[in-house]
Amino acid sequence: MKYQKHVFICANQKPEGKKCCGEAHGLELVKAFKEELQKHDMHKVIRAQKSGCLDFCGKGPALMVYPEGIAYGNVQLSDVTEIVERHLLNNEIVERLQIPDPEPAQ
């Protein structure tokens, strides 16, 4: 596998009037993650890229980190360094931003 981790950042655009991550700085987050990874010289082993809707519109801006499958919500530009340094580089989940897994249907 070329990349150890992938960060998928929602940059989805919805019709006017509907909340979406793209309007709430999704593309700016993509740029900030790429710059932060470059700064740590990790851009060759961790990939950050824009994605379509991750189905967390009410908790956006949202992103997913794989292979762990960790979702983060309400991510601000000021959170990028912390996510990169703690989660992407040191495998420590940033719990204050984590979107918990939904309870399984019974």
| Single-letter residue type at 17 | G
pTM for this predicted structure? 0.89
Helix (H/G/I), strand (E/B), else coil: 42: coil
Residue range 1-20: mean pLDDT, rounded:
81
* 39 pLDDT higher than 80: yes
Residues 6 or more apart whose Cβ sits within 8 Å of residue 64: 7, 8, 51, 54, 70, 71, 72
Residue-wise pLDDT tens digits, 15-26: 666 666 766 688
Q: What is the pLDDT of residue 26?
A: 81
* 32 pLDDT higher than 60: yes
Q: Please count the structural domains in the chain.
A: 1
Residue 79 lies in a domain: yes
Distance between alpha carbon 85 and the CA centroid of its chain, in Å?
13
| Whether 81 contacts 45, CB under 8 Å | no
CATH number at residue 62: 3.40.30.10
| Domain encompassing residue 90 | 5-99
